[in-house]
């Protein structure tokens, strides 16, 4: 939690930490309402400073901690290698690696003996680098996740045409948000690097910039180095932090601009002309986020609106700057949506409608319209996830309790963080709504987990063994105090409690986030297994369609085929043709469906007759999602060989391509 | 050291402008690989951000407590470090849309020009704003003479320490070097296992009808191709047969990654099938066909 310090009025002028300064440390403790906690900063031993050269920031123990954390990355790399070769120890190495990457940084961050801002910042950025490398190591030679491939081909189109807003069959809406493609195309064309390598660099830098700005946002609200570091460490346990937030996708490019706007809006004061540069930065950030990603743009406005509303209601004198920025954001983003990206309404509409319908259904007591389509995690993983959520809930309750008791000055930032944390729990509940619930909840957590991390970090950094309880009845107070006095164990110390909770949350995010448990490690081909479905044969087949058939044909395919032909093949994928594959014999209905969908070619991957779909669906639009009990019969796929007028134009063993134009 | 830091801040503006021009020129030279990579990285991630940060915040440090509130806002070094890549990335994002709007084609030259021109313009603004804030007695000192970098403070707060700073620095940074080495090892393991792991071996056979220049002649052109993705040189036999039983046979040997092509004229009626046999096998390894025109 990062409330503005009680005795500092302007957040823009809060002095930031240096080793020799005593600074205000805002914290969620149950001290007397108006008491400011002042903690003398503890610097690293003098001997260390004496040995370091003058220009080098005091890094404390960050180098040693990061060396240990880097060893965890080696373990994860070995685990991935083991996964590819089917080694039995790979799972254990993966989890050990995860612990070694995160825990040392968390322990150091909660140790309360940081050397200063530099140590905290270096630890945070080091952890972000280590975790980004884990994502890269999963698939270091090429992009495999569908969304990454969609932006890969978008960048390819930009490089070929030299124009923005050119059609992209793989993800039509993305052409109106070309920020990531612009960054990558500029780097690729100037350096000569491949799109993949340029994209990995762009995504990595954007991810690090996002984390750096999150650190700055906490600092700008008066948060100490420990608090800023703790927020970033806890945020690294977000469901989608490890993969989605650092993938080569347009959200990754937009996130730094979101944070830039929030950071700059905190410092802009319309009545002080000299702060106008922060308004400029707000404008740059709003433009950037509008051009990069629709949902992040909406989240930026929502965040600014929440903070601005809290400031307008609670600050005396009232502060309007953030609301003004939010208003500018509304104009800019809706303008971009209305004038440039009208397609976004059709793209975002159906999932939102489904979610609203699901929530309405649950409220009516009728249950959700559909559960998760993919197989559930093992029980122990669900338990870890549940305990992590419970821990967060406990921290939120404690933060709320402390805020309520010290309500002499309930500042706007604290209120916004608490409301944001509540939104996090509301969005977590969306997991159980509809078939897209888990994905929507995960994607929302990228934004809602930021205030949750602030609340959790605020409580943990300022942790005290127990809350002050003046309102308890005497009997209860004596009983509770009696129990607590006997329990006063070491685990209540932040250096233990903080890392324990971070570890729990990290484990929960790994089992509940991305990649799903069945592809936590890279390995052999899986049907409908996202990254695990992209293999050399599929890529070669998709490239063949581009080279031999030309682009923009309508190609019906399974989930993986649709991804591959729309990206490597630059074809127009048809995801609604599942009936063609499910029918045991070719009939008139199939011919009519073929004509109505305008299918030119049929992509048949015969492996869908050998495995069940690991993610629950064989096709992009699959009426049997989550209901499959056996693979599609082989005969359903070989029937195309006997249909008059059809050509089988490609055969690579598992993959056949049929020319359906004369069927 | 403080003077050196201030001098560096003052030099950053002309240096970034000069480097931007140089980098643009280098990116236009396709022959110089590594230099081009460095130049491109600077133009995308660093130089525009350095110039933009300097233009927006000509002063180096945050104001000291008690300083007048109406002074120009200042950034700590940490804030500058974070803002540089963010603002650099904003240049191709916003600038690319503007260039597209005015009809310029987005090529390496225009991207490089965008980065370089943006850096030059922002450096110019920074120069003008810095000139207005310098003390006449010290051309490198920011306004007010304070350059206390509040975040990223120097490691040795006290000056005049004894000993050898180079040795101290090496000792402090040795663990970081270990961390970098470990990450390098992890990267090597990852790349090696991803690229040298279980490579799939397969061969693709295709037969694609081409445009028929003379539809009335009862034959149509097709192109037959064999694409070898096997792990070793492989011998194949391709047999093309019609419904009537007539056909051709081709013997070929392909290296991994090699493609064999053959143009054929096949009848427009009846099915024409091409079977691929691998090595001495007598069952078709791959099979494609074109049906007769209806």
Q: What is the pLDDT of residue A380?
A: 82
In a domain, B206, yes or no: yes
CB contact under 8 A, A118 and B175: no
pLDDT tens-digit readout, B18-33: 999 999 999 888 766 8
Q: Are A552 and A584 in contact (CB under 8 A)?
A: no
Q: What is the pLDDT of residue A44?
A: 43
In a domain, B224, yes or no: yes
Most B CBs within 10 A among A17, A51, A61, A259, hence the mutation to make, goes to A51
For tokens 């890279």, name the residue.
A522
In a domain, A536, yes or no: yes
In a domain, B157, yes or no: no
Q: What is the pLDDT of residue B148?
A: 39
Whether B73 and B209 map to the same domain: the answer is no
pTM for the whole thing? 0.87
Q: What is the pLDDT of residue B2?
A: 46
User: Which of A50-54, A629-633, B58-62, B156-160 has the highest average model confidence (pLDDT)?
Assistant: A629-633
Q: How far is CA A453 from CA A235, A237, A458, in A?
A: 5, 9, 8
Whether B217 and B77 map to the same domain: the answer is no
In a domain, B71, yes or no: yes
Domain with A572, as residue range(s), is: 530-659
Q: What is the pLDDT of residue B75?
A: 83
Q: Which of A11-20, A240-249, A255-264, A357-366 has the least mean pLDDT? A: A11-20
Q: Given the DSSP bridges, would you call strands A554-556 and A572-574 parallel, antiparallel or unpaired?
A: parallel
Tokens matching residue A130: 């280590």
Q: At residue A17, does pLDDT exceed 60?
A: no
pLDDT tens-digit readout, A138-156: 999 999 999 999 999 999 9
Nearest to A163 among B105, B151, B159 (CB): B105
Residues of chain A with Cβ-Cβ distance to B202 below 8 Å are: 536-537, 540, 652-654
Task: Report the half-sphere exposure of B220 (CA within 13 A, side-chain side).
Answer: 17
Provide the domain count of chain B: 2
Q: At residue B224, does pLDDT exceed 90?
A: yes
Q: At residue B141, does pLDDT exceed 60?
A: no
In a domain, A548, yes or no: yes
In a domain, B182, yes or no: no
Whether B12 and B128 map to the same domain: the answer is yes
Which residue has better confidence, B139 or B245? B245
Whether B137 and B228 map to the same domain: the answer is no
CB contact under 8 A, A208 and B153: no
Q: Are A589 and A605 in contact (CB under 8 A)?
A: no
pLDDT averaged over every residue in chain A: 86
Which residue from A337, A336, A304 is spatially nearest to A321, judged by alpha carbons? A304
In a domain, A305, yes or no: no
Report the gap between the CA of A487 and the closest CA in chain B (Å).
Answer: 39
The ipTM (two decimal places) reads: 0.86
Q: At residue A468, does pLDDT exceed 90?
A: no
In a domain, A575, yes or no: yes
CATH number of the domain at B237, please: 2.60.40.10
In a domain, A650, yes or no: yes
Q: At residue A179, does pLDDT exceed 70?
A: yes
Tokens matching residue B46: 């660093």
| 8-state DSSP, B162 | -
In a domain, B191, yes or no: no
Task: Report the half-sphere exposure of B255 (CA within 13 A, side-chain side).
Answer: 2
Whether B8 and B137 map to the same domain: the answer is yes
Q: Give percent of chain B above pLDDT 70.
A: 78
A366: exposed, middle or buried (Cβ count in 10 Å: 0-12, 13-18, 19+)? exposed
Residues of chain A with Cβ-Cβ distance to B81 below 8 Å are: 212
Nearest to B289 among A540, A544, A647 (CB): A647
For tokens 């989608």, name the residue.
A240
CA dist., res. A117 & res. A224, Å (int): 8
CA dist., res. A520 & res. A512, Å (int): 11
Nearest CA in chain B to A271: B70
Q: Give percent of chain B above pLDDT 90.
A: 54
pLDDT averaged over every residue in chain B: 82
In a domain, A623, yes or no: yes
CA dist., res. A270 & res. A272, Å (int): 6
Q: Using pLDDT thresholds of 50, 70 and 90, give the confidence band for residue B293.
A: confident
Q: At residue A642, does pLDDT exceed 80?
A: yes
Which residue from A561, A648, A563, A642 is spatially nearest to A603, judged by alpha carbons? A561
CA dist., res. B258 & res. B236, Å (int): 13
Q: At residue A16, does pLDDT exceed 50?
A: no
Q: Give percent of chain A above pLDDT 90.
A: 65
pLDDT tens-digit readout, A107-145: 999 987 788 899 999 999 999 999 999 999 999 999 999
Residue B263's SS3 state is strand
pLDDT tens-digit readout, B60-96: 544 444 445 456 667 888 999 999 999 999 999 999 9
In a domain, B196, yes or no: no
Residues of chain B with Cβ-Cβ distance to A278 below 8 Å are: 73
Pairs of residues, one from chain A and one from chain B, whose beta carbons lie less than 8 Å apart = 367
pLDDT tens-digit readout, A555-593: 999 999 999 999 999 999 999 999 999 999 999 999 999
CB contact under 8 A, B166 and A58: no
For tokens 């309750």, name the residue.
A397
Q: At residue A337, does pLDDT exceed 90?
A: yes
Q: Given the DSSP bridges, would you call strands A22-24 and A38-40 parallel, antiparallel or unpaired?
A: antiparallel
Whether B102 and B216 map to the same domain: the answer is no
Which residue from A132, A129, A212, A253 is spatially nearest to B81, judged by alpha carbons? A212
Whether B42 and B104 map to the same domain: the answer is yes
pLDDT tens-digit readout, A229-259: 999 999 999 989 999 899 999 999 999 999 9
Whether B147 and B212 map to the same domain: the answer is no
Task: Report the half-sphere exposure of B249 (CA within 13 A, side-chain side).
Answer: 6
Listed residues B124, B152, B180: the one ending a domain: B152
CA dist., res. A62 & res. B291, Å (int): 69
Domain with B275, as residue range(s), is: 202-290
Which residue from A451, A2, A452 is spatially nearest to A258, judged by alpha carbons? A451
Q: What is the pLDDT of residue A424?
A: 95
Q: What is the pLDDT of residue A59?
A: 85
Provide the domain count of chain A: 1
In a domain, A584, yes or no: yes
Which residue from A558, A509, A499, A508 is spatially nearest to A534, judged by alpha carbons? A558
Nearest to B205 among A193, A524, A651 (CB): A651
Query: Stretch B47-69: mean pLDDT, rounded?
Result: 72
| CB neighbourhood size of B232 (10 A) | 8
CB contact under 8 A, A158 and B199: no
Report the gap between the CA of A139 and the closest CA in chain B (Å).
Answer: 7
Whether B22 and B90 map to the same domain: the answer is yes
In a domain, B162, yes or no: no
Q: What is the pLDDT of residue A436?
A: 66
pLDDT tens-digit readout, B149-166: 444 444 433 334 445 666
C-alpha R_g of chain B: 33
């Amino acid at each position: 939690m990062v409330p503005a310090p009680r005795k500092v009025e302007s957040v823009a002028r809060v002095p930031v930490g240096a080793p020799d300064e005593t600074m205000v440390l805002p914290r969620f403790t149950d001290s007397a309402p108006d008491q400011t906690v002042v903690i003398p900063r503890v610097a690293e031993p003098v001997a260390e400073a004496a040995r370091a050269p003058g220009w080098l920031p005091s890094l404390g123990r960050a180098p040693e901690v990061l060396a240990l954390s880097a060893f965890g990355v080696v373990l994860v790399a070995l685990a991935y290698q083991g996964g590819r070769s089917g080694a039995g120890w790979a799972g254990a190495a993966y989890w050990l690696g995860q612990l070694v990457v995160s825990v040392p940084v968390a322990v150091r961050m909660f140790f309360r003996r940081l050397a200063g801002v530099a140590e905290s910042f270096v630890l945070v950025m080091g952890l972000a680098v280590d975790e980004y490398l884990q994502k890269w190591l999963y698939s270091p030679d090429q992009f495999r996740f569908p969304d990454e491939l969609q932006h890969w081909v978008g960048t390819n189109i930009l490089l070929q045409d030299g124009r923005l807003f050119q059609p992209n069959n793989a993800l039509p809406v993305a052409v109106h948000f070309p920020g990531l493609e612009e960054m990558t195309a500029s780097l690729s064309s100037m350096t000569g690097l491949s799109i993949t390598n340029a994209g990995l660099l762009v995504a990595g830098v954007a991810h690090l910039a996002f984390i750096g700005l999150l650190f700055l946002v906490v600092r700008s609200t008066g948060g100490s180095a420990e608090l800023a570091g703790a927020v970033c460490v806890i945020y690294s346990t977000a469901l989608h932090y490890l993969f989605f937030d650092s993938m080569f996708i347009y959200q990754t490019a937009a996130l730094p601009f979101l944070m830039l706007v929030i950071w700059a809006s905190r410092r802009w004061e319309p009545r002080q002309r000299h702060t106008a540069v922060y308004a400029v930065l707000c404008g740059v950030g709003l433009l950037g986020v509008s051009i990069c990603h629709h949902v992040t743009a909406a989240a930026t406005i929502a965040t600014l609106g929440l903070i601005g509303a809290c400031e307008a209601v609670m600050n005396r004198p009232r502060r309007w700057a953030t609301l003004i920025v939010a208003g500018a954001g509304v104009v800019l983003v809706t303008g971009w949506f209305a004038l440039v990206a009208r397609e976004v309404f059709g793209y975002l509409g159906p999932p939102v409608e489904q979610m609203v319908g699901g929530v309405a259904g649950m409220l009516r007591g009728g249950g959700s319209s559909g559960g998760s389509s993919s197989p559930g995690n093992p029980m122990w993983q669900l338990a870890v996830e549940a305990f992590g959520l419970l821990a967060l809930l406990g921290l939120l309750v404690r933060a709320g309790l402390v805020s309520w008791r010290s309500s002499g000055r309930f500042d706007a930032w604290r209120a916004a963080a608490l409301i944001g944390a509540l939104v996090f729990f509301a969005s977590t509940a969306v997991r159980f709504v509809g078939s897209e619930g888990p994905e929507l909840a995960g994607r929302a957590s990228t934004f809602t987990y930021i205030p949750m991390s602030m609340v959790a970090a605020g409580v943990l950094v300022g942790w005290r063994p127990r809350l002050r309880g003046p309102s308890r009845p005497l009997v209860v107070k004596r009983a509770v105090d009696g129990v607590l006095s006997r329990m006063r164990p070491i685990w209540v110390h932040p250096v233990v409690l903080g890392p324990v909770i971070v570890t729990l949350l990290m484990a929960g995010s790994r089992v509940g986030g991305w990649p799903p448990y069945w592809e936590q490690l890279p390995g052999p081909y899986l049907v409908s297994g996202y990254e695990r479905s992209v293999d050399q044969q599929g890529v070669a087949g998709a490239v063949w369609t581009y080279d031999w058939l030309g682009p923009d044909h309508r190609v019906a395919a399974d989930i993986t085929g649709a991804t591959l032909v729309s990206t490597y093949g630059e074809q127009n994928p048809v995801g609604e043709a599942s009936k063609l594959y499910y029918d045991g014999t070719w009939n008139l209905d199939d011919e009519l469906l073929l004509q109505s969908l305008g299918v030119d070619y049929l992509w048949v991957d015969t492996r869908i007759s050998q495995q069940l779909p690991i993610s629950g669906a064989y096709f992009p639009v699959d009426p049997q999602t989550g209901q499959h009990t056996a693979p599609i019969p082989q005969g359903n796929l070989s029937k195309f060989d006997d249909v008059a007028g059809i050509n089988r134009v490609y055969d690579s063993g598992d993959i056949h391509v049929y020319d359906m134009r004369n069927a | 050291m403080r003077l050196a830091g201030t001098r560096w801040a003052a030099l950053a503006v002309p240096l970034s402008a000069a480097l931007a021009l140089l980098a643009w020129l280098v990116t236009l030279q396709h022959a110089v690989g590594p230099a081009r990579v460095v130049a491109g990285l600077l133009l995308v991630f660093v130089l525009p951000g350095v110039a933009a940060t300097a233009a927006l915040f000509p002063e180096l440090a945050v104001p000291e407590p008690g300083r007048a509130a109406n002074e120009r806002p200042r950034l700590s070094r940490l804030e500058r470090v974070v803002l540089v890549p963010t603002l650099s990335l904003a240049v191709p994002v916003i600038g690319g849309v503007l260039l597209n709007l005015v009809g310029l084609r987005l090529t390496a030259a225009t991207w490089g020009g965008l980065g370089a021109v943006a850096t030059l313009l922002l450096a110019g603004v920074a120069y003008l704003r810095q000139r207005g804030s310098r003390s006449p007695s010290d051309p490198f000192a920011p306004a007010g003479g304070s350059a206390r970098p509040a975040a990223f403070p120097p490691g040795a707060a006290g000056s005049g320490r004894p000993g050898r700073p180079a040795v101290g620095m090496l000792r402090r940074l040795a663990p970081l070097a270990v961390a970098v080495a470990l990450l390098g090892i992890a990267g090597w393991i990852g790349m090696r296992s991803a690229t040298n792991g279980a490579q799939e071996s397969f061969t693709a056979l295709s037969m694609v009808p081409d445009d028929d220049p003379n539809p009335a002649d009862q034959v149509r052109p097709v192109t037959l191709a064999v694409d070898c993705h096997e792990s070793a040189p492989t011998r194949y036999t391709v047999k093309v047969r019609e419904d009537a039983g007539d056909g051709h046979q081709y013997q070929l040997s392909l290296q991994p990654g090699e493609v064999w092509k053959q143009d054929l004229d096949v009848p427009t009626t009846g099915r024409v099938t091409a079977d691929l046999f691998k090595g001495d096998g007598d069952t078709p390894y791959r099979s494609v066909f074109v049906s007769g025109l209806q």
